[in-house]
Structure 1
């Protein structure tokens, strides 16, 4: 493997694979159902805080040339991966950003799922990237990571394979400015989407996260997230009031 894998590549891997740790200000109390703010190596963190948006309790993400994650780890379940639902409200798009271009790979909204699997079955090059990410962050990356994203231009339904790691794939579910500045409620068949993106059945669900980033574009973005529900059980990213 080329050891010149640069900081941007490492940060991209860490972001998509849901790694690293550090809390921004105004973190929620422990009752926030396991959600935690996570920083990325070499990146200014996006600010996440509890608030209200258009009558809904929400998690506000404010990105100023920044990138970080709000993540919840999950106990792996032997059962099948079911339906997921989530919502987001985006203030505006990031000019020239594209989730398909590693040099402009920013998104105003992402909901991210990490899956387990047999990492030893992956190609040597991929395993070496995983080892590098683990050395950087102290965590073993998921076997596969699936993102739902809002892109500036790519058509809805586009599947994007991350150019830095084919174990990270994205599905565009909102595109362009037409749906900005209102709540967008999404319901997806996670197992079906995983098969479409990776061409195989999903393993156990290990984690879920939300992320708003604008670091590569050196721009700003502001988005609000509602609860994330998996298999009908809410894992509320924004269902707990701020700490007093």
Structure 2
């Protein structure tokens, strides 16, 4: 059986590594971008028709969606088309973060709502990645710092008073707390991606009493959902056993 693994997350890499030696299962990893190896394809599929044609041409027998929790368009399309063509589909979706005592979280439906939350004069750190920054709006009257991994672009981020905050992960809680103090951050803006590797910024915000604009996850497909790498591996093993 050929399994298409829609990747881009740490969980996807772990699943791929474990399933690589499973007998009677060939795993093809698909990434939007990144380094290529013989079992990895890079780039999109060319819309709905392109995805259908790829599944048929490559003899894909099932799809495991381990894309980012905010990759709404990819997940919705993949689940829908798998249903239409009769392929097994499941989504590996890590649990969302939940607030603890002392957290000062404010739920936002999207970037625009999150951008409107900080009051005028606030110093804001946006830690949502480089995409969709324009969706926040200009955020006039706020000092907006945007976290970026790697070199900063020549152009500033699209805010009335914006700048890049360059850093190299992983970031520990103490490191985050020190950074937030140095930058005098009043608001932290994040997407509820879940997972432990990037939770440190939320723990640091709790320590300092920083307000957090937490962007809610988009709708997910009505399809089997797996919350752990172990559950995803077991699902893939059952595919082989049930053939």
- The alignment's TM-score, normalised by the length of structure 2, stands at 0.27
Q: Relative to total residues, which structure has the larger helix share, 1 or 2?
A: 2
Q: Relative to total residues, which structure has the larger strand share, 1 or 2?
A: 1
Which structure has the larger Rg?
2
Query: Which has the higher relative contact order, 1 or 2, with Cα contacts under 8 A spaced 6 or more apart?
Result: 1
